[in-house]
Amino acid sequence: GGAEIFVQTIAEAFSKKGHDVGVFCLGVNEAQHVIDSILISRTKYNGFTWLPSRKTRNMFQKLTEHSLKTFNPYIAKKIAKKIYKFNPDVINIHNIVGISPLIYLMLKKLLPDTPIIETLQDYWIVCPKNTLLRSSKKLCLNKPPICKLYGIYTKHFAKNITAFISPSKFLANIISNDL
């Protein structure tokens, strides 16, 4: 997807400038290798990849999957430890679906002096669907109670983010007004 291409472009640019670059992500299997001087570290996702397609999932299956995407201490801790061992000067996070916002808290505890930069790709901090759209496809600016509760949860972890990078002023305004 677009986030992955963007991460690859940035990683390659920093590597060409002589920086040590590590990309830490989820994968089907545990793996670690180096491509063009860039460390690629994949952590096996422990979520429910065996679930049927989205259209045929029942409410319990959807809730279970979403819960693991927003609260997964096992994966967050595993990736945070890998990043800690890499010992970066700066951490730039692009997408935490499947990892969970716990990663920010864990990284702040392990690397308290290392800035954590979040490059926003969507509305995950303020919207559990990541889209900021209602099912009618209209923009959702007046949040229902479940979304307000979700926002309280994500803000607790987002306070560990040093700075945000946003591809648009609209997204930046939505996030800054909500945090």
Residue 157's pLDDT is: 92
User: Can you give the pLDDT at residue 48?
Assistant: 56
Question: What DSSP letter does each residue of 49-110 carry, written as one string?
Answer: TTSPPGGG--HHHHHHHHHHHH--HHHHHHHHHHHHHH--S-EEE---TTT-THHHHHHHHH
Residue pair 172/164 in contact by the 8 Å Cβ criterion: yes
C-alpha closest to that of 76 among 113, 119, 110: 110
79-137 per-position pLDDT tens digit: 999 999 999 999 999 988 888 899 999 999 999 999 999 999 899 888 888 899 998 99
The pTM for the full model equals 0.86
| Alpha carbon distance 151, 176 (integer Å) | 13
Tracing tokens 């997204």 back to the chain, one arrives at: 171
